[in-house]
């Protein structure tokens, strides 16, 4: 697809693969290719779930600091906006997504991982938001998605100190959801993603929209959003098939078409 970002599809699972050695630094071209990959996996009906993956050695080591240091303020406004937009497109993929984290996920790399619904990490992984050590702050979701995920106090500790967090602590904090052996990271992420390939795609999209959209609303309006999305599923074939299967065969035996 692109020079540094590719979309690979196998049996309904799409993998957005970063490949910009040595550490998958996020420069202008990478952020643009990530945006295009997000659009592709969103639009393709043959992709039912998505893995974000940086390869066996490292997920993403952050932004390209050499490139960034030379930019002017107007240039950083443009780049920062584009990067944030690209990561928001990834976060908005209306399908289950999981980040398969190897090596490091630092700065923009952690912000990339935070766009996924779930994060699987190797037990040798280190994550963090070290931007403060450069005299700046996270600029592509690190102060927002991280605080929503683990709470403001814990997020402030990581952002204020810029310290690296090992896999065990990342799991305890809730930054990652599963820790496995380094060579099992992709397989574990794939196992999670594959369970949705034959699922009710429209209901999964509604579930993601309800949860993510509700986080930006107060409870009363979140409940209204949930009700609207819930009722809307009665316009789908999967709702009819799922309920009829339950009546005739009991739970967990429905066959869904994703319509």
> What's the token pair of residue 236?
């789908």
Angle at 90 between CA 97 and CA 145, to 5 degrees: 85
Q: Are 31 and 84 in contact (CB under 8 A)?
A: no
Give the residue numbers marked as catalytic.
111, 131
CATH of 201-249, one of 3.40.50.300, 1.10.12.10, 3.40.50.150, 2.60.40.10: 1.10.12.10
pLDDT tens digit at each of 259 positions of the chain: 689 999 999 999 999 999 999 999 999 899 999 999 999 999 999 999 999 999 999 999 887 788 888 889 998 899 889 989 999 999 999 999 999 999 999 999 999 999 999 999 999 999 999 999 999 999 999 999 999 999 999 999 999 999 999 999 999 999 999 999 999 999 999 999 999 999 999 999 999 999 999 999 999 999 999 999 999 999 999 999 999 989 999 888 889 988 9
Q: Are 111 and 140 in contact (CB under 8 A)?
A: yes
Q: How many CB atoms lie within 10 A of CB 189?
A: 29
Estimate to the nearest angstrom the gap between the alpha carbon of 178 and the chain centroid: 14
| Residue extents of the structural domains in the chain | 5-194, 201-249
Cis preceding linkage at 22, omega within 30: yes
At the topology level of CATH, where does 5-194 sit?
Answer: 2-enoyl-CoA Hydratase; Chain A, domain 1 (3.90.226)
Q: Is the dihedral of CA 159, 181, 185, 192 positive or negative?
A: negative
pLDDT at 214: 95
Backbone angles phi, psi at 29, to 5 degrees: -65, -40
């Amino acid at each position: 697809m692109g020079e540094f970002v590719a979309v690979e599809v196998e049996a309904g699972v799409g993998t957005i693969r970063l490949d910009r050695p040595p550490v998958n630094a996020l420069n202008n071209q990478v952020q643009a290719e990530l945006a295009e990959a997000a659009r592709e996996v969103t639009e393709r009906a043959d992709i039912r779930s998505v893995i974000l993956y940086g390869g066996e050695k490292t997920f993403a080591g952050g932004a390209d600091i050499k490139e960034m240091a030379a930019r002017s303020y107007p240039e950083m406004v443009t780049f920062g906006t584009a990067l944030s937009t690209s990561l928001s497109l990834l976060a908005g993929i209306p399908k289950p997504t999981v980040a398969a984290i190897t090596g490091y996920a630092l700065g923009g790399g952690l912000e990339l991982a935070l766009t996924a619904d779930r994060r699987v990490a190797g037990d040798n992984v280190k994550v963090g938001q070290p931007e403060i050590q450069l005299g700046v702050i996270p600029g592509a979701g690190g102060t927002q998605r991280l605080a929503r995920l683990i709470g403001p106090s814990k997020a402030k500790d990581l952002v204020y100190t810029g310290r690296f967090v090992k896999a065990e602590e990342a799991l305890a904090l809730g930054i990652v959801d599963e820790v496995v052996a380094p060579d099992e990271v992709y397989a574990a992420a794939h196992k999670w993603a594959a369970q949705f390939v034959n699922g009710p795609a429209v209901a999964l999209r509604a579930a993601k929209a309800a949860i993510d959209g509700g986080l930006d609303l107060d409870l009363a309006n979140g409940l209204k959003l949930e009700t609207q999305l819930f009722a809307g599923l009665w316009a789908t074939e999967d709702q009819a098939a799922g309920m009829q299967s339950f009546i005739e065969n009991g739970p967990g035996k429905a066959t869904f078409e994703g319509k």
